[in-house]
Amino acid sequence: MGDTGNNDDSHVLTMKTVNPRAVEMEYAVRGPIVTRAVELGKELAAGAQKPFSKVLQANIGDCHATGQSPITFIRQVVACCTCPDLIDTANFPDDVRNKAKRILKGCKGESAGSYSASAGIDVIRQDIARYIHLRDDVPSKMEDIILCTGASDGIKTVLNLLMTGKDGNQRAGIMIPVPQYPLYSATLTEFNACPIPYYLDEDNKWGLDVGELKRALKEAKGRCIPRAICIINPGNPTGQVLSRENIESVIKFAYEEKLMILADEVYQHNIWAAGSQFFSFKKVMTEMEGGKYSKMELASFMSASKGYMGECGFRGGYAEIVNLQPDVKAILLKSISAKLCPPILGQVVIDTIVNPPVEGDTSFEVFQKEKSQVLALLKKKAQIVTELFNSIEGIKCNEVMGAMYAFPRIFLPPKAVAAAKALKQSPDFFYCLQLLEKTGLCTVPGSGFGEKPDTYHFRITILPKLEEMQAVLATFKDFHLSFLNEYK
């Protein structure tokens, strides 16, 4: 028998031979602090004594994991599609049963256990096109829509089309915001692409300045081939909501620089700040200057995981991709065919979101009540978190205008920065790890999203139950002031 030891010769995959792109990839939202949080939870369950009785997972936008109740209408439709006998035997409302029947008729063999077309079930794509049309007052067609395994899968699919397949200064360059959702940086590393970071303006409510876009693009030229610009609106992790004027300026910039626009709009239902409003990039692009920009290539993304529904586990999402050349669209469809199809139940959930009960439907009142309660509570927590952080010495937090996160800046004493660097840790990682160990509050260091040099942040979700948030944030204040005193 051959040697079964741990030397390099005994394995095909070693740290020398594994894909170097996989080694380089980082995804802070599920990084080492989260790993430690899981360990602490197990230690508590085993009877260990800690300064806290529970680990509060505020690191990820997982609504149901933090106690949000499912929307009844969504789950009833999913139940009927999963177990069609319920259509006749359960005491579900008529509109639930009719919707399930319609979706099942669109499935092969009228079963949610069958494959769909790679782009998704046709009746669901039709419903998405109608939803976009009603939302934007701009035409949408089924042929431009693909269902995907969460928005993340759709984003990766489109990014893959933009790659050049070359190395060095011939790599594809993709403009991404800083701070950014780490999906983008991780995917670009995986694809051997070149990120072109542009900084959001923290002093201006995390606004997007065209001058900064031009600076970033100018610096990138010569080391890559710029292909697209990503915008997250409402913002993750920063929680800003772009004004229509801001969106118009980005569209003009992309048009002038011949860049495809990738609009991550998964938080479009999560708008909290007074005077803020969601505008889709497609709507603005189509309406600007008599349609001058209406032929630009644009991909926009939506998910079942956020909004008021928070159905992360079903992995439902869609992308609307407009103005591709016909032969390029054929390549897109070929590329998704290799994945067969997105989960059918995820597609069902998306349909309940884009085609919900309307006034007069049996389920309408319950649906509207549940949706309103979820959104009202999130809005309240957004306000509480913003106000609390801004009341504490050494912290500054822009208003959580939308999405599900606060991204406060922490002003760390030089002694704390030095202590972190002595441990070869980012200062905000050093801070967040101590916060976890002393309070049980699991957050994500700002360095995992990118930030301007010598600034430090962390991301915290507004999803945990209100009473838990209030209790832990009171503990957080004590921790923070103690931390400042220890390292002053």
Domain of 429, in residue numbers: 20-67+369-487
Same domain, 341 and 475: no
434 inside domain: yes
| Contact between 409 and 454 (Cβ < 8 Å) | no
pLDDT value at 185 more than 70: yes
Domain limit, last residue, from 330, 354, 378: 354
pLDDT at 16: 79
Same domain, 198 and 323: yes
pLDDT tens, residue by residue, 140-155: 999 999 999 988 899 9
pLDDT at 347: 96
Domain limit, last residue, from 354, 387, 414: 354
Summarize the confidence of residues 77-105 as an average pLDDT. 94
CA separation, residue 419 to residues 435, 444, 447, 449, 488 (Å): 15, 19, 16, 22, 12
pLDDT at 420: 93
pLDDT tens, residue by residue, 312-350: 989 999 999 999 999 999 989 988 888 889 999 999 999
pLDDT value at 368 more than 90: yes
Domain limit, last residue, from 354, 377, 405: 354
pLDDT value at 29 more than 70: no
Summarize the confidence of residues 251-272 as an average pLDDT. 96
CA separation, residue 196 to residues 150, 174, 219, 448 (Å): 25, 6, 9, 16
Lookup result for tokens 């229509």: 244
User: What is the distance of C-alpha 130 from the center of its chain?
Assistant: 24
Among 467, 402, 165, which Cα is nearest to 272's? 402
pLDDT value at 392 more than 50: yes
Among 351, 246, 259, which Cα is nearest to 288's? 246
151 inside domain: yes
pLDDT value at 25 more than 70: no
* Amino acid, res. 409: R
Same domain, 286 and 389: no
Same domain, 301 and 403: no
pLDDT tens, residue by residue, 409-442: 999 999 999 999 999 989 999 999 999 999 999 8
pLDDT at 28: 52
pLDDT, the chain, mean: 91
Same domain, 312 and 388: no
Same domain, 414 and 345: no
Lowest mean pLDDT across 16-30, 293-307, 474-488: 16-30
pLDDT value at 265 more than 50: yes
**Helix or strand (DSSP H, E) at 439:** helix 427-439
100 inside domain: no
Same domain, 62 and 129: no
Number of separate domains in the chain: 2
Among 87, 81, 142, 143, which Cα is nearest to 114's? 81
106 inside domain: no
460 inside domain: yes
- Band of residue 1 on the pLDDT scale cut at 50, 70, 90: very low
Summarize the confidence of residues 276-282 as an average pLDDT. 96
* CATH code of the domain covering residue 135: 3.40.640.10
pLDDT at 40: 87
pLDDT value at 48 more than 50: yes
In this structure, the number of other CB atoms found within 10 A of the CB of residue 133 comes to 13
pLDDT at 27: 57
| Contact between 199 and 178 (Cβ < 8 Å) | yes
Among 309, 239, 230, which Cα is nearest to 462's? 239
pLDDT at 26: 62
Same domain, 287 and 395: no
Same domain, 454 and 389: yes
**Which 8-state DSSP code applies to residue 274?**
T
Q: Which is it for the CA torsion 342, 344, 349, 352, positive or negative?
A: positive
- Band of residue 103 on the pLDDT scale cut at 50, 70, 90: very high
pLDDT at 468: 83
Same domain, 334 and 383: no
1 inside domain: no
* pLDDT over 70 percentage in the chain: 96
- Band of residue 57 on the pLDDT scale cut at 50, 70, 90: confident
8 inside domain: no
pLDDT value at 108 more than 80: yes
d(CA 455, CA 420): 14
The pTM of this model reads: 0.91
Task: Please give the residue that has the higher pLDDT: either 67 or 374.
Answer: 374
pLDDT at 7: 57
Same domain, 332 and 374: no
In this structure, the number of other CB atoms found within 10 A of the CB of residue 415 comes to 11
**With 0-12 CB in 10 A as exposed, 13-18 as middle and 19+ as buried, what is 460?**
buried
Same domain, 461 and 401: yes
